[in-house]
Amino acid sequence: MTAPATKRLHRPEGLDLAEAVELTRTGDLWLFRGSSGADHAIRVLTNAPVNHVGMAVVLDDMPPMMWHAELGRGLVDLWTGDHHRGVQLHDLGDAVRRWHDEYGQRAWLRQLVPEAGPDMEAAVLSTIARLDGTPFPQTASLLGRWVRGRVRRPAKVEETYCAEVVAATYTAMGLLDGARPTNYYDPGRFWSGDELELVGAELGREIDVRV
């Protein structure tokens, strides 16, 4: 299962949401920055410019989707067909609009180069089957997981947060070598200002998405 070959990297100065969704491919990242107290706390604790990250999943004739973890359950999970908190697979456009309209988040897109192939897409589906529905940790637990990750200590799999989901999926795709535990990563690790060592691929610069 592959995304249409016509999707190409786009100019970096900015895109409307509809255009960004149309150009998105499996493995592309969506990054978010908000202004709430919780958003600010996450950025301060992790010294990062963003507080949320999700990964695009674009397969065959299905609508583009976002694979991420959050506390809310306002959107239907396209893997299970119900509403739940934690790790979720959402319609991409709906998810970005929710994060913009309800959470007050600004959005950026980073595109994976080269495009994900069939083996990577199979690994994505396997990861979704394994992690979908995993609870999102409470704030104190989230911080503890990240601190353990910074000293290379894996955290238990009963909970997971957004950057862990992306890291686990990238590891399954072969884009991360697995030398660091998934809880080593925070949203800022996927921003271009940080050094993210991908295997056989790279991420483009952030593209501002106008919602």
Beta bridge partners of 68: 88
Q: What pLDDT, on the 0 to 100 scale, is given for residue 183?
A: 85
Q: Which two tokens stand for residue 131?
A: 């992690």
Q: CA 76, CA 148: separation in Å to the nearest integer?
A: 32
In degrees, rounded to 5, the angle at the alpha carbon of residue 136 between the alpha carbons of residues 174 and 67 is 45
Using DSSP's 3-state secondary structure scheme, residue 132 falls into coil
Using DSSP's 3-state secondary structure scheme, residue 131 falls into helix
Q: Using DSSP bridges, classify how beta strands 65-70 and 15-16 pair: parallel, antiparallel or unpaired.
A: unpaired
> Residue 159 — pLDDT band, cuts 50, 70, 90?
low
Q: Is 35 exposed, middle or buried (0-12, 13-18, 19+ CB in 10 A)?
A: exposed
Residue with token string 């959470």 = 103
DSSP secondary structure string for all residues of 116-128: --HHHHHHHHHHH
Report domain extents, the chain: 15-210
Above 90 in pLDDT, residue 156? no
If phi > 0 it is left, if psi is from -120 to 50 it is alpha, else beta; for residue 178 that is left
Q: What pLDDT, on the 0 to 100 scale, is given for residue 43?
A: 72
Q: What pLDDT, on the 0 to 100 scale, is given for residue 5?
A: 39
> Residue ranges of the alpha helices (H) in 54-172?
92-101, 118-131, 139-150, 162-172
Above 70 in pLDDT, residue 198? yes
Above 90 in pLDDT, residue 3? no
Q: What is the CATH number of domain 15-210?
A: 3.90.1720.10
pTM: predicted TM-score of the whole model, two decimal places = 0.85
pLDDT 10s digits, 69-125: 998 999 999 999 999 999 999 999 999 999 999 999 999 999 999 999 999 999 999
Q: CA 138, CA 146: separation in Å to the nearest integer?
A: 12
Residue that wins the pLDDT comparison between 146 and 113: 113
Q: What is the mean pLDDT of the chain?
A: 85
DSSP secondary structure string for all residues of 171-189: HHTTSS-SSS-GGG--GGG
Q: What pLDDT, on the 0 to 100 scale, is given for residue 148?
A: 47
Please answer whether residues 172 and 124 qualify as being in contact, where contact means their C-beta atoms are separated by less than 8 angstroms.
yes
Top mean-pLDDT range of 52-61, 130-139, 150-159: 52-61
In degrees, rounded to 5, the angle at the alpha carbon of residue 1 between the alpha carbons of residues 58 and 129 is 70
What is the number of other CB atoms lying within 10 angstroms of the CB of residue 194? Answer: 14
